[in-house]
């Protein structure tokens, strides 16, 4: 009777062991996937930072050219109402878009 109880306990512990191994394997797969996703997101952020720096440099250059142009000869800019700025808020990776409309 004692042996039967011990054998049942052994069987139960073996089943638990198998279940835990399966969970460990599943967690390992998920960990790998999350690591890959994290690496991809970090790469994406780095690219976005570089793009932001590039746009900032371009903006500074254009402002400088505009100021230099004002010093040399006046430049007529379109009225503020004809220029609209749209910022993409859908999570898209495209930078802010500028649209000019002629009326």
Q: What residues contact 48, with CB distance under 8 A and at least 6 apart?
A: 93
The average pLDDT across 32-47 equals 98
For the record, the structure tokens of 55 come out as 């746009």
Residue 74 confidence (pLDDT): 54
Q: How far apart are CA 48 and CA 95, in angstroms?
A: 9
CA distances from 43 to 18, 36, 46 (A): 38, 11, 5
The average pLDDT across 80-87 equals 47
Q: How far apart are CA 30 and CA 38, in angstroms?
A: 12
The average pLDDT across 34-38 equals 98
Q: How far apart are CA 11 and CA 5, in angstroms?
A: 10
Q: What is the pTM of this model?
A: 0.52
């Amino acid at each position: 009777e004692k042996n039967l109880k011990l054998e049942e306990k052994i069987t139960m512990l073996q089943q638990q062991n198998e279940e835990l191994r399966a969970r460990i394997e599943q967690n390992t797969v998920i960990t790998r996937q999350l690591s890959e996703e994290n690496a991809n997101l970090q790469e994406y952020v780095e690219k976005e930072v570089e793009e932001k720096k590039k746009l900032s440099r371009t903006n500074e250059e254009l402002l400088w050219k505009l100021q230099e142009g004002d010093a040399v000869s006046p430049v007529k800019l379109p009225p503020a109402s004809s220029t609209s700025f749209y910022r993409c808020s859908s999570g898209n990776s495209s930078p802010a878009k500028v649209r000019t409309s002629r009326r």
